[in-house]
A and B are shown apart, each in its own frame.
Chain A
Amino acid sequence: MTDWIVLGLLGVLSVASALGLLLSRNAIYAALFLVLNFVIGAVIYLVLNAPFLAVVQISVYAGAIMVLFIFVIMLLGAERLTPAENPPGLNYQRPLALILGVLALGLAAYVLLTRQASAAPVAQSVDASPTAVGLQLFRNYVFPFEVVALLLLAAMVGAVVLTRKTE
């Protein structure tokens, strides 16, 4: 029961931080709300008995990816962008966001309604220690793991090509 209450509270907090992100006019504030959202996500992983995932979430998302976001926001000076300056070419994004949002909600509702109602929120029996994760990853999921390397390599090449000055 306490699990449900804690998860509910975290869900509310998570939605609140997401709303904060959406409603901030200043891009840096939005980025900070996103960091908060990631941290709350990490706590949700903890409650769900996945401590490894929680610390990775902090380390990679909050610690690395958001640093990039903040750099980019500083780089572009985007924080001073007023709504009037929104490029007109992006107008199609609002209806698109609406459609995709409804689709995602529908998917979530489908999963919620079709899964067994009796299932406890927290999987107590699963061993989620780093050792267990390592054994799973390197025994059963070696191929996806190697594919990750290729993905990262592609990102690396992309980053360098994109930041190159055109001669």
Chain B
Amino acid sequence: MNDFLPIFVLLVLASGLVSLVLLISVLFGPRRRARNETKLQPYESGMRPIGPAQRRLPVRFYLIAVLFILFDIEVVFFFPWAVALRELGWAGLLSMLIFIGILEAGHFWLWRRGALEWEKMDK
């Protein structure tokens, strides 16, 4: 636990720094009232914004995020395996190969199916 003390201290200091920076700009920056609507309008290359900015997104972002979770879990399993491999020997490699084999079959299937093509992903 004590090993992690510096991390918390750094977290506190870094958050303090960021708050300070934001505070400085509030304290020293000029505050002028907006005379008209235009100043506070979101930037849309000089056009009046049409419709809300937060609209529904293409489904491919969702797919990418799900695939990321699955492969991220795969990557996380590599770390305890990597530090212990020299003790585990060939048996350790074999169990990892089975694990990877199953997942990479999935990866290959995704690939073949075109689920990894950015352009075709939501078609």
Contacts and interface: CB of A to CB of B under 8 A. Distances in A.
Q: Do A and B bind each other?
A: yes
Interface of A: 46-47, 49, 51-52, 56, 59-60, 63-65, 67-68, 71-72, 74-77, 79, 129-131, 133-135, 137-139, 142, 145-146, 148-150, 152-153, 155-157, 159-160, 163, 165
B87 interface: yes
Nearest to A2: B1
A58 B55 CA distance: 29
Contacts, number: 136
Interface of B: 1, 3-4, 54-57, 59-63, 65-70, 72-74, 76-77, 79-85, 87-88, 91-92, 95-96, 98-100, 102-103, 105-107, 109-110, 113, 115, 121-123
Contact of B69 (A52, A68, A79, A160): A68
Most buried by A among B3, B99, B107, B115: B99
Contacts of B76: 56, 59-60
A153 B103 contact: yes
B123 A153 contact: no
A145 B99 contact: yes
From DSSP, what is the main secondary structure of chain B's interface residues? helix
Contact of A60 (B54, B72, B85, B100): B72
22 contacts: A46-B1, A60-B73, A60-B76, A64-B65, A65-B69, A72-B65, A75-B56, A75-B62, A130-B80, A130-B84, A131-B87, A134-B82, A134-B83, A137-B77, A137-B81, A146-B98, A148-B73, A153-B102, A153-B103, A160-B115, A163-B122, A165-B123
A50 to B, nearest CB: 10
A152 B106 contact: yes
Contacts of B92: 138
Nearest to A155: B70
Contacts of B113: 160
